[in-house]
Amino acid sequence: METYADLIECEDVLLFANASITSTGQREFHSDAGRQRLSLRFLHDYIHTNYPGLYAATLALDINDHNAALIIAGLLGRKGGVDAGEARLISWRLGRMSPPRAYRLFGELRRAGVNNRRTRAIVRDRLAARPDLAFDAVKYRAGVKAAVRHAHLRPPGELGDFLFAPFRRSHYDTPLLEAWRRAHYDKNALYELPYTVAEGFAARHGIPRDHFLEHIAPRLTRLERLRLSGAAERDGLGTDADLAALPLVRVASYVLSLAADVRERRRDELVSALRAAASRAAGTRAGTWGHVVAVLDDSFSSFGSPQKRRRPLAVALACHYLLEALAGDYHGLWLSRRDDPLQARPTGPTPLGRRVIDALERRPGLLVIVSDGWDNAPPGLACEVLRVWRRRLDPAREVGIVHLNPVYDAERFEVRRLSPVVPTAGIRDAEDLPALVELARFAEGRSGAAELRAYLAERAARALEAR
Please indicate, yes or no, if residue 197 is contained in any of the structural domains: no
Please indicate, yes or no, if residue 114 is contained in any of the structural domains: no
What integer pLDDT is reported at residue 239 of this predicted model?
47
What integer pLDDT is reported at residue 162 of this predicted model?
94
Please indicate, yes or no, if residue 271 is contained in any of the structural domains: no
Please indicate, yes or no, if residue 106 is contained in any of the structural domains: no
Question: CA of 183: how far to CAs of 159, 202, 208, 365, 462, in Å?
Answer: 18, 9, 16, 61, 45
Q: State pLDDT tens for residues 352-379.
A: 999 999 999 999 999 999 999 999 889 9
Residues of the chain with pLDDT under 50: 232, 234-239
Domain of residue 393, CATH code: 3.40.50
What integer pLDDT is reported at residue 221 of this predicted model?
85
What integer pLDDT is reported at residue 234 of this predicted model?
45
What integer pLDDT is reported at residue 79 of this predicted model?
84
User: What b/e sequence results for 147-173 when a residue is b if at least 16 CB atoms lie within 10 Å of its CB, and e otherwise?
Assistant: bbebbeeebeebbeebbeeeeeeeebe
**DSSP labels, 397-450:** --SEEEEEE-SEETTTTEEPPS-TTS-EEE-SSGGGHHHHHHHHHHHTTSS-HH
Q: Tell me, rounded to whole angstroms, the distance of Cα 81 from its chain centroid.
A: 28
- Residue 310 belongs to domain spanning: 285-447
Please indicate, yes or no, if residue 347 is contained in any of the structural domains: yes
What integer pLDDT is reported at residue 3 of this predicted model?
66
Sign of CA dihedral 120, 123, 129, 133: negative
Q: Which secondary structure element, helix H or strand E, spans residue 454, and what is its range? A: helix 449-465
What integer pLDDT is reported at residue 225 of this predicted model?
82
Please indicate, yes or no, if residue 98 is contained in any of the structural domains: no
Please indicate, yes or no, if residue 362 is contained in any of the structural domains: yes
CB atoms within 10 A of CB 380: 13
What integer pLDDT is reported at residue 246 of this predicted model?
87
What integer pLDDT is reported at residue 448 of this predicted model?
59
Domain count, the chain: 1
What integer pLDDT is reported at residue 223 of this predicted model?
82
Amino acid at 243: L
